[in-house]
Amino acid sequence: MTNETTSEVYNEVIKHPWSKGYLLRKKVEPYFYGFITGKNNKTITKIIQNHKVRIELPDELSGKLYYSITGMKKDKIQGASDEMDKIIKWAIPRLNWTHFVSIPLLTKKMRNSMKSFQKSIHSTVSVADGFSEEIMQSPYKFHLTILMMKLYKEEQRDKAIEILKQVKIDGSEGVLNSEITIKSLSTFPENDFENCQVMYAQVQQDETFKKIHRLHLLLIEKFQQAGIEVDTNPLTLHATLMNYRYKIQKNNQKKQNSINFSKLKENNEFLNYNFGTQIINQIHLSTLGKYHKSGFYMPHYMITNK
């Protein structure tokens, strides 16, 4: 830790205010610390040795969001900083998604339909098939994901909100106030009920379905123009019902990597299950891992039809 009290300086090597040599202070978010230090501090030690500088990363509890590099030569300090920039750039694609644009499916009718569906599952699929309670999606989290993204920096989150505000002005590509119907089942891997990782409800392929796909492509374009990393894979519009990743593996259970839902595939009542229809009145920028008191994902921003 350092006792320095001067103003924060970013992206520029300056004459050290009270010591010999030079100083560079540059912004860094805490989630990059591990990448910069490396295993057993090997990465940061190598940078220090190569450039003959001193590097100080802030304590995670200090609240400071910058690192300091000091040394006797400006070019050595800049070289160390450039190397750290490369590490951060390399790390970004390896960070997890933080936010997603979603359409909540939270009308009372949708929730009740999902509860009824899950209740029926109990009498059809057994523990031997890989089923357990915890794999079921909460009816209070029922939603459609339109786009995943990484918003690790405050300025990125601000940009995302500005983009969504503009999308609202543009009419949200006609998605708001459109009627959406959720019915029939499918799985990931696609239609593999015998080795299911995720079971989901599908969206009826009508005009609303097309509007959501157009919105998806528009958002990709806008976010990428703003320098925000997004998932560019083709959109499979789905509302998750069950996810094997939620499963808690007990010590006395045989390890399984999927669920066998072949019994559901033989049952047209399940395959064509109709969860209902609702008017889309909200589009959320949802935060992964954080939840509202209602049980749904914490909204970082909402587009509404008001």
Tracing tokens 């806008």 back to the chain, one arrives at 222
d(CA 266, CA 270): 9
Average pLDDT along the chain? 88
User: How many CA atoms does the CB half-sphere of 122 hold within 13 Å?
Assistant: 6
- pLDDT tens, residue by residue, 22-43: 999 988 888 888 899 999 999 9
Beta-bridge mates of residue 136: 242
Compare 133 and 140 and report the one with higher pLDDT: 140
Per-residue pLDDT at 256 = 67
Q: Is pLDDT of 134 > 90?
A: no
d(CA 152, CA 24): 23
Name the amino acid, one letter, at 245: R
Give me 204's structure tokens: 């009826």
Residue 247 has a CB neighbour count (10 Å cut-off) of: 19
Q: Which residues contact 89 (CB under 8 A, 6 or more apart)?
A: none
Query: Mean of the pLDDT values across residues 4-11?
Result: 59
- pLDDT tens, residue by residue, 228-249: 999 999 999 999 999 988 876 6
Look up the pTM and report it. Answer: 0.78
Q: Which residues contact 220 (CB under 8 A, 6 or more apart)?
A: 147, 230, 232
- pLDDT tens, residue by residue, 45-84: 999 999 999 999 887 656 677 899 999 999 999 999 999 9
Per-residue pLDDT at 146 = 96
Q: Quote the percentage of the chain above a pLDDT of 90.
A: 62
C-alpha to C-alpha distances, 261 to 114, 243, 270, 271, nearest whole angstrom: 17, 12, 11, 11
Give me 7's structure tokens: 């103003």
- pLDDT tens, residue by residue, 149-169: 999 888 899 999 999 998 876
Give me 120's structure tokens: 């029926």
d(CA 86, CA 295): 39
Beta-bridge mates of residue 66: 27
- pLDDT tens, residue by residue, 252-285: 656 667 888 888 887 888 889 999 999 999 999 9
